[in-house]
C-alpha cells in the first residue's frame, strides 16, 4: 500500500457558473449540484465543491464522471491541487481570518 503523502493526496475542486433564469436551467443546476454531492463532494462556497482523492488516478476518474454529467449551459472548471497546496489556503469571513477546518470527509481516523 502506498504511503499517505500530502504531495500524493489530491483535492479536486469543481467551480461552476450555471444559468438559473429559466425553470429548466434551475432544474439542471440543481441536478448537477446534487450529482456532485452524491459523488462525495462537499460545498466549500456557493458553486464551489471539493473532494479529497487518493491520487491523480482517482482525480482523473472523478473528472471523467463529472464530464459525463455536465449541464448543457454555463461554465464549469475542474481544478486539482495537492493536499500540501490545500493546507496553504488562507480564508476570511469578511475581514476576519478564519481558522482552517478540514471537511468531514478528510477525517481518516
68 vs 7: which has the higher pLDDT? 68
Number of domains in the chain: 1
**DSSP state letters, 34-56:** HHHHHTT-EEEETTEEEEEESSH
Q: Name 62's Cβ contacts closer than 8 Å, sequence gap at least 6.
A: 12, 39, 51, 53
Nearest to 74 by CA among 20, 35, 19: 19
pLDDT tens digits, 11-42: 999 999 999 999 999 999 999 999 999 999 99
CATH of the domain at 38: 3.30.70.240
The average pLDDT across 49-77 equals: 95
pLDDT tens digits, 97-106: 988 766 655 4
Q: Show the domain range for 33.
A: 10-106
The torsion defined by the Cα of 18, 24, 29 and 34, in degrees rounded to 10, comes to -170
Query: What pLDDT band is residue 1 in, cutting at 50, 70 and 90?
Result: very low
Residue 4 lies in a domain: no
Residue 1 lies in a domain: no
Contact 49, 42 (CB under 8 A): yes
pTM of the full predicted structure? 0.83
Amino acid at each position: 500500500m502506498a504511503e499517505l503523502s500530502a504531495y500524493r493526496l489530491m483535492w479536486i475542486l469543481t467551480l461552476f457558473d450555471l444559468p438559473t433564469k429559466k425553470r429548466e436551467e434551475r432544474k439542471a443546476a440543481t441536478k448537477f449540484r446534487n450529482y456532485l454531492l452524491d459523488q462525495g463532494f462537499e460545498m466549500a462556497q456557493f458553486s464551489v465543491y471539493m473532494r479529497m482523492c487518493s491520487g491523480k488516478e482517482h482525480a482523473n476518474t472523478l473528472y471523467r464522471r463529472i464530464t459525463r454529467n455536465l449541464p448543457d449551459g454555463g461554465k464549469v472548471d475542474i481544478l486539482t491541487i495537492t493536499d500540501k497546496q490545500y493546507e496553504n489556503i488562507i480564508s476570511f469571513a469578511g475581514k476576519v481570518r478564519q481558522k482552517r477546518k478540514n471537511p468531514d470527509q478528510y477525517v481518516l481516523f
